[in-house]
Amino acid sequence: MDFEFFVNLLFSGLTRGSIYALLALGYTMVYGIVKLINFAHGEVYMIGAFTTLIMVSVLTILNLPILAIAVIAALVAIVWSAGYGYTLDKIAYKPLREAPRLSALISAIGMSLFLQNYVRLAQTSDFLPFPRFLPTVRFLDNYDGLSSSQFIIFTTTTVVMVILTIFIKFTRVGKSMRAAAQDRMMATLTGVNVNKTISVTFLIGSVTAAIGGILISAHVGQINFYIGFLAGIKAFVAAVLGGIGSIPGAVLGSFVLGLTESFGAGYISSDYEDVFAFIILVLILIFRPSGILGKPAAQKV
């Protein structure tokens, strides 16, 4: 129980938190505008990892340096996953936009199961080794507490968050996203093409999810068709914890969840690692159902 152990847990918690944040963003942005929990979101993360693995295998034939292969594979995987997110919305959610919210939710669960099993059939249900292609960061050589891949995950996430914040705050598309989240009908009446805005939201959420999937796979070193499920559920918990619909909330919730899991596993028991997420979910639903940064829902009467 010394200081070094504490620091280890801290960094491992931040790493987890980063990955959850990359995923939770997609949940919270989609919920903000469409009021839908996109349960198939974790699958996009999984598909990002699988596509990278396939691309790396293909590109290895070309005899390129490993970093070049990694970058190309990751970029292709990100674009490919974004396509999945976009298509998911078009075929599974858009036709149900005016339907009761429960219908779209069932559709999301269906898509999640479909994508998992399709990858299982197309690939395998076994764990596959994933290349640990994240480069070594030299200045961390003499430091045991923080690994290169953890450092890269954390910095990449930070950069993604900053870019996303600027995008949403200042660009025209970002403004339409915020307007649609605050009052969808009014946004349409002021001439905003809300369907297009929703598509963009799915694209952005899928891109960040794929980045998360690729990073964590390169950190852990193995993947299977099921990795998106648990990660997706936990990122969802993180989004609820922070206040679903709120982007800063999702990031905050993700880090709170990541750190809780890491410290819980380290100081209490690693057997219960996954339980902590759900304990937090239950507590937040009882004591602060709107989440840390969420606004209490005003019921219209």
Q: How far apart are CA 194 and CA 34, in angstroms?
A: 10
Q: How far apart are CA 261 and CA 270, in angstroms?
A: 9
Element (H, E) at 278: helix 273-287
**Residue 106: CB partners within 8 Å, gap ≥ 6?**
none
In the complex, the smallest distance separating the C-beta of residue 163 from another protein, rounded to whole angstroms, is 9
In the complex, the smallest distance separating the C-beta of residue 178 from another protein, rounded to whole angstroms, is 6
Radius of gyration of the chain (CA): 19
In the complex, the smallest distance separating the C-beta of residue 170 from another protein, rounded to whole angstroms, is 9
Mind giving me the DSSP string for 129-189? E----PPPPGGGTT-SSS-HHHHHHHHHHHHHHHHHHHHHHHSHHHHHHHHHHH-HHHHHH
In the complex, the smallest distance separating the C-beta of residue 73 from another protein, rounded to whole angstroms, is 21
Token representation of residue 209: 């999810």
User: Would you say 173 or 285 has its CB closer to another protein?
Assistant: 173
User: Would you say 116 or 176 has its CB closer to another protein?
Assistant: 176
Tally of CB atoms within 10 A around 84: 21
In the complex, the smallest distance separating the C-beta of residue 191 from another protein, rounded to whole angstroms, is 3
User: Would you say 62 or 189 has its CB closer to another protein?
Assistant: 189
User: Would you say 146 or 180 has its CB closer to another protein?
Assistant: 180
Q: Which residues bind another protein (CB under 8 A)?
A: 167, 171-176, 178-179, 182-183, 185-194, 200, 203
User: Would you say 102 or 185 has its CB closer to another protein?
Assistant: 185
User: Would you say 125 or 193 has its CB closer to another protein?
Assistant: 193
User: Would you say 138 or 172 has its CB closer to another protein?
Assistant: 172
- The phi, psi pair for 156, rounded to 5°, reads -60, -45
- The phi, psi pair for 129, rounded to 5°, reads -70, 135
In the complex, the smallest distance separating the C-beta of residue 192 from another protein, rounded to whole angstroms, is 5
- The phi, psi pair for 223, rounded to 5°, reads -140, 155
Mind giving me the DSSP string for 172-210? HHHHHHHHHHH-HHHHHHTT--HHHHHHHHHHHHHHHHH
In the complex, the smallest distance separating the C-beta of residue 185 from another protein, rounded to whole angstroms, is 7
